[in-house]
């Protein structure tokens, strides 16, 4: 996890512009470099480093003797870099996983490069010999990337939007700062003036397609067919492989543990594999919640079962409320459910950074979208519509859960690893018949749970624990975190302000005092940037006015039982 920043064709003094690069310093607390491009005095790279792999030679932009005309700034981890090196006979100059991007590009161009990378990444690749700039981002947008391109060809690129919004330019920066789309690469021509012109934007991978890099995966061909036993075995093999490949790190590994199915599976498999490869320190797991909240109690049970060194962070209501503004500033969104769920994750990340030496943090993001874990999937009109909704959610992850997970951890200099979003695991799961993937017997994620039922990785009551939204699970059963927030916000927003909300904020107008409060804070820091969020996250197929699972009938009836 790092912070990347680059400018091409700047009219302003670069020493002034580079102040914007410091807005993302939290992403790389270990080192910083600012470097001009030879022959292009108005082009430069900025890089904030969190040293996780090759601590000696990992500074960027990466340049190697073999390709003096290539400059690479990337944020991410390429899990198959050693397999690619072996398959193609690449001669590496460093131990940095990202160096493989230079070799792949030299061998087969940008399309093959982006398609063959098994990992999470956002990168800027400059080829001065051919006068090209390339931008690319992984399938689910696990690593963030934003860009701004003016009409006269000034390009700014950054890991977070906050590093671009204050850039200076002769025509003033009225052009839109926008997220770079996941699963895409862009080709731009670099002019002698240092300005650029976009040539094409290409989608190189879709979540349903088996990735090209399967040819150099450590797990070879799996048995085919949809016999239930074969499917369950394949799910276990691919998930374990997804966790195994993410063990690549020279810094201590930890794991977020809410006590729900997803984070518990990740923690259990992670600890099992760490023992197998003789990692000589205990796995630290981290839970946050109010005193005796459902998440804390369940996480305690899981930690005892798997034998992790468990840490509990007690969420203080006042502390949570005080964190709202800094959380919204970090997130760069005003989405209601994203902000609610981010507060706990932000505070637990703060604890990890201050009180422990864990830096590489595993988490369970992506499972709800992939395995149909949200409560409202019980109301899907058909298996086919449920499957379509699952794919829609995966495509929009970069706006919601993946955004939350990246920003809340990166704000405290931690690196996130999300095995449920492994390319091969997700493409396999999505290839299964729609009927197999729907909730069954009133239980969501039924197939995933069934696949691990005989593994003894988790206690049965955790494996079959009903879905609990993170923002709800950290509070007590009696009063959820979202209702505590609403009680506080009720006092902060006047009724009249809410009545006139649509006039003040015509795009995505706030409908509740809570959403109005968040929007005010967002506009304070990112005025006029509301289009970053195309729509609020809300459940489908139900008449919901609030995104919390606790407001849905299915949840209420389960709680009453």
pLDDT tens-place string over residues 184-217: 999 999 999 999 999 999 999 999 999 999 988 8
Q: What angle do CA 305, 306, 307 make, to 5 degrees?
A: 95
Domain CATH code at residue 244: 3.40.50.620
Is 484 marked within a binding site?
Answer: no
- Indicate whether 77 and 30 sit together in one domain: yes
The reply to whether 561 falls in a domain is no
Q: Which pLDDT band holds residue 547 (cuts at 50, 70, 90)?
A: confident
Please list, in sequence order, all residues whose beta carbon lies within 8 angstroms of the beta carbon of residue 89, skipping any fewer than 6 positions away: none
Task: Look at residue 561 in the predicted model and tell me its pLDDT.
Answer: 39
- Indicate whether 256 and 325 sit together in one domain: yes
Domain CATH code at residue 37: 3.60.20.10
Task: Look at residue 174 in the predicted model and tell me its pLDDT.
Answer: 56
Provide the Cα torsion 138, 139, 140, 146; round to 10°. Answer: 50
> Which tokens in the block code for residue 108?
């087969």
What's the rounded Cα separation, in Å, for the pair 394 and 370? 7
Smallest Cα–Cα separation from 221: which of 207, 205, 209, 210?
210
- Indicate whether 104 and 50 sit together in one domain: yes
The reply to whether 263 falls in a domain is yes
- Indicate whether 357 and 226 sit together in one domain: yes
Report pLDDT digits (tens) over 1-40.
689 999 999 988 888 888 898 899 899 877 788 888 988 8
Q: Does residue 2 carry a catalytic annotation?
A: yes
- Indicate whether 173 and 237 sit together in one domain: no
Smallest Cα–Cα separation from 425: which of 219, 121, 185, 143?
219
> Which H/E stretch holds residue 383?
helix 383-395
The reply to whether 551 falls in a domain is no
The reply to whether 259 falls in a domain is yes
What's the rounded Cα separation, in Å, for the pair 521 and 525? 7
- Indicate whether 156 and 241 sit together in one domain: no
Helix intervals (H) in 77-126: 81-88, 99-116
Least confident of 10-19, 490-499, 549-558: 549-558
Contact 151, 175 (CB under 8 A): yes
Which phi and psi angles does 35 have, rounded to 5°?
Answer: -135, 130
The reply to whether 142 falls in a domain is yes
Is 288 marked within a binding site?
Answer: yes
Task: Look at residue 396 in the predicted model and tell me its pLDDT.
Answer: 98
Is 363 marked within a binding site?
Answer: yes
Catalytic pick among 2, 44, 73, 207: 2
Task: Look at residue 548 in the predicted model and tell me its pLDDT.
Answer: 64
> Which tokens in the block code for residue 156?
């700014």
- Indicate whether 295 and 226 sit together in one domain: yes
Phi-psi region of 259 (alpha: psi -120 to 50; beta: other; left: phi over 0): left
* C-alpha 300, offset from chain centre: 26
- Indicate whether 389 and 425 sit together in one domain: yes
What's the rounded Cα separation, in Å, for the pair 413 and 50? 7
The reply to whether 199 falls in a domain is yes
Task: Look at residue 484 in the predicted model and tell me its pLDDT.
Answer: 83
Residue 168's Cβ-count burial label (10 Å; 0-12, 13-18, 19+) is middle
Of 476, 494, 512, which residue is a domain's last? Answer: 494
DSSP single-letter state for residue 548: -
- Indicate whether 254 and 132 sit together in one domain: no
What are the E-state strand segments in 19-141?
Answer: 31-37, 40-49, 62-64, 67-78, 119-127, 132-137
* C-alpha 515, offset from chain centre: 23
Range of the domain at 273: 219-494
Report pLDDT digits (tens) over 287-346.
999 888 888 999 999 999 999 999 999 988 899 999 999 999 999 999 999 999 999 999
- Number of helices (H), then strands (E), belonging to the chain: the values are 22, 17
Of 448, 465, 494, which residue is a domain's last? Answer: 494
Is 263 marked within a binding site?
Answer: no
Least confident of 101-115, 291-305, 364-378: 291-305
The reply to whether 380 falls in a domain is yes
What are the E-state strand segments in 160-235?
Answer: 177-179, 184-190, 196-203
> Mean pLDDT, to the nearest integer, of 429-451?
97
Is the pLDDT assigned to residue 477 strictly greater than 50? Answer: yes
> Cα separations (Å) of 320 from 23, 291, 470, 525, 547?
24, 14, 14, 20, 19
Is 364 marked within a binding site?
Answer: yes
Of 203, 231, 256, which residue is a domain's last? Answer: 203
Q: Tell me the whole-structure pTM to 2 decimals.
A: 0.94
The reply to whether 87 falls in a domain is yes
- Indicate whether 141 and 254 sit together in one domain: no
Is the pLDDT assigned to residue 539 strictly greater than 50? Answer: yes
Q: Could you write out the DSSP letters of every residue in 147-165?
A: EEE-TT--EEEESSGGGTT
Is the pLDDT assigned to residue 465 strictly greater than 90? Answer: no
- Indicate whether 226 and 186 sit together in one domain: no
- Indicate whether 417 and 480 sit together in one domain: yes
Count structural domains, the chain.
2
What's the rounded Cα separation, in Å, for the pair 408 and 328? 10
């Amino acid at each position: 996890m790092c912070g990347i920043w680059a400018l091409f064709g700047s009219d302003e003094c670069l020493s002034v512009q580079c102040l914007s690069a410091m807005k993302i310093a939290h992403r790389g607390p270990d080192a910083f470099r600012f470097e001009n491009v030879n022959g292009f005095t108005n082009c430069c790279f900025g890089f904030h480093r969190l040293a996780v792999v090759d601590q000696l030679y990992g500074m960027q932009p990466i340049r190697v003797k073999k390709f003096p005309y290539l400059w690479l700034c990337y944020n991410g981890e390429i899990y198959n870099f050693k397999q690619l090196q072996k398959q193609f006979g690449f001669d590496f100059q460093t131990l940095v996983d990202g160096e493989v991007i230079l070799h792949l590009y030299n061998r087969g161009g940008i399309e093959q490069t982006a398609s063959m990378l098994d990992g999470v990444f956002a990168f800027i690749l400059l080829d001065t010999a051919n006068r090209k700039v390339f931008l690319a981002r992984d399938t689910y947008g696990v690593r963030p990337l934003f860009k701004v391109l003016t009409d006269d060809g000034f390009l700014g690129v950054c890991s977070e939007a906050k590093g671009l919004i204050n850039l200076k330019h002769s025509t003033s920066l009225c052009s839109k700062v926008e997220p770079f789309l996941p699963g895409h690469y862009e080709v731009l021509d670099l002019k002698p003036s240092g300005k650029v012109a976009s040539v094409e934007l290409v989608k190189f991978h879709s979540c349903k397609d088996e990735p090209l890099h399967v040819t150099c995966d450590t797990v070879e061909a799996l048995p085919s067919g949809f016999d239930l036993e074969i499917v369950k075995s394949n799910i276990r093999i691919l998930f374990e492989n997804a966790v195994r490949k993410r063990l690549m790190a020279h810094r201590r590994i930890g794991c977020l543990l809410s006590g729900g199915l997803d984070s518990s599976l990740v923690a259990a498999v992670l600890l099992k594999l760490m023992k197998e490869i003789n990692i000589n320190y205990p796995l630290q797991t981290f839970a946050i919640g109010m005193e005796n909240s459902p998440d804390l109690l369940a996480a305690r049970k899981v930690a005892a079962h798997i034998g992790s060194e468990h840490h509990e962070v007690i969420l203080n209501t006042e502390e949570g409320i005080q964190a709202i503004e800094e959380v919204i500033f970090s997130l760069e969104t005003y989405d209601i459910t994203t902000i609610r769920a981010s507060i706990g994750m932000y505070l637990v990340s703060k604890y990890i950074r201050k009180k422990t030496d864990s830096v590489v943090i595993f988490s369970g993001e992506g499972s709800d979208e992939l395995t149909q874990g949200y409560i409202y999937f019980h109301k899907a009109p058909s298996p086919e519509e449920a499957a379509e909704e699952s794919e829609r959610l995966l495509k929009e992850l970069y706006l919601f859960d993946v955004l939350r997970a990246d920003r809340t951890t990166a704000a405290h200099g931690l690196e996130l690893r999300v095995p449920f979003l492994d390319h091969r695991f997700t493409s396999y799961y999505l290839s299964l018949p729609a009927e197999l993937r729907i909730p069954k017997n009133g239980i969501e994620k039924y197939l995933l749970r069934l696949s691990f039922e005989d593994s003894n990785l988790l206690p049965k009551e955790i494996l079959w624990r009903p879905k609990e939204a993170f923002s709800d699970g950290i509070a007590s059963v009696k009063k959820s975190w979202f209702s505590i927030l609403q009680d506080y916000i009720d006092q902060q927003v006047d009724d009249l302000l809410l009545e006139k909300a649509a006039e003040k904020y015509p795009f995505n107008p706030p409908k509740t005092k809570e959403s109005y409060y968040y929007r005010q804070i967002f506009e304070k820091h990112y005025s006029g940037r509301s289009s970053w969020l195309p729509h609020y996250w809300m459940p489908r197929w139900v008449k919901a006015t609030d995104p919390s699972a606790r407001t849905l009938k299915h949840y209420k009836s389960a709680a009453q039982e």
